[in-house]
Structure 1
Amino acid sequence: MAEPTIRVEVVYAGAGQPIRRRVELADGSTVMQAIAASGIAALLPGDAIDPARLGMFARRVTPERLLREGDRIEICRPLVLDPMEARRRRAR
């Protein structure tokens, strides 16, 4: 009997065109397994995938979080400017 699978999407929104990959994984897979299966890591700089900057539907998640059918994993890039500093600059 075939092992149950789920389909998820992995997204990286860089400065240019976003990278989106749909992958099919075994039920019970984690966020990091989905990122590895998507192949996105090979397209990004070495430090682009930081476990502290992973999200799902705009909420932070851990790399060990189990996935469900239809989840969207978001690989967030680092901030260019601290939001508080940006507000200070606009206020001046």
Structure 2
Amino acid sequence: MTCTEPEIRIHFAFAAPTRLWRQSLCLPAGTTVAEALAQSDFVREFPEFTDHFPAIGIYGESCTGQRVLVDDDRIELYRPLVFDPLETRRRRAGQRRQMRSAARPDGTPTRSGASPAGQGDEAIRTAQNAKCDGDDPVVQ
């Protein structure tokens, strides 16, 4: 697509759950993001966004509809998050804690880095006993 001199070329990208939607338009210089979206086919392709647009950005940086576009800008439309990332991390951490506590017969959690069989625990106990006896353990 070739634009005439006073026009700029703008690209749109939206990753719908089932497909990727892309469009390019030639618009007058000085066009804002909101004006470009109004001239695009986005609302016709995705009627669920008729009353509101999703979050928008240009090349991965969040922006508002008032931002003035420059030649070859890519307007990205972001879907709403299905899961809260923080809640997902908490759930995974809880699952890891459960797996670690289940790895020991007495139910005490294993230390990170120690093998499930307890290898390495012997060296820790030896170092702790040596400290109690007044000897300085040699750490390798």
In the superposition, the TM-score normalised over structure 2's length comes to 0.59
| 1:14 matches 2:49 | no
Shift of 1:39: 1.1
User: What runs of 5+ residues in structure 2 fail to find an aligned partner?
Assistant: 96-140
User: Equivalent pairs: percent with the same residue?
Assistant: 38
> What value does the CA root-mean-square deviation take over the aligned residues?
1.6
C-alpha contact 1:3 1:26 (8 A) present in aligned 2: no
Report the equivalent of 1:49.
53
More helix by share: 2
Answer with 64-73 or 41-50: which moved more: 41-50
2:33, 2:79 → 1: CA distance? Answer: 16
1:48, 1:42 → 2: CA distance? Answer: 13
Query: Secondary structure of the residue that 1:65 maps to in structure 2?
Result: coil
Report the equivalent of 1:38.
40
2:92, 2:76 → 1: CA distance? Answer: 29
Higher relative contact order (CA 8 A, sep 6+): 1
Instruction: Select 2:73's aligned residue among 71, 74, 85.
Output: 71
More strand by share: 1
Shift of 1:81: 0.6
Shift of 1:37: 1.5
Shift of 1:32: 1.1
2:64, 2:52 → 1: CA distance? Answer: 16
Query: Secondary structure of the residue that 1:74 maps to in structure 2?
Result: strand
Shift of 1:87: 0.5
In the superposition, the TM-score normalised over structure 1's length comes to 0.88
Instruction: Select 1:80's aligned residue among 79, 82, 86.
Output: 82
Shift of 1:12: 1.0
1:33, 1:39 → 2: CA distance? Answer: 12
Work out the number of aligned pairs and report it: 89
Shift of 1:24: 0.5
2:21, 2:15 → 1: CA distance? Answer: 6
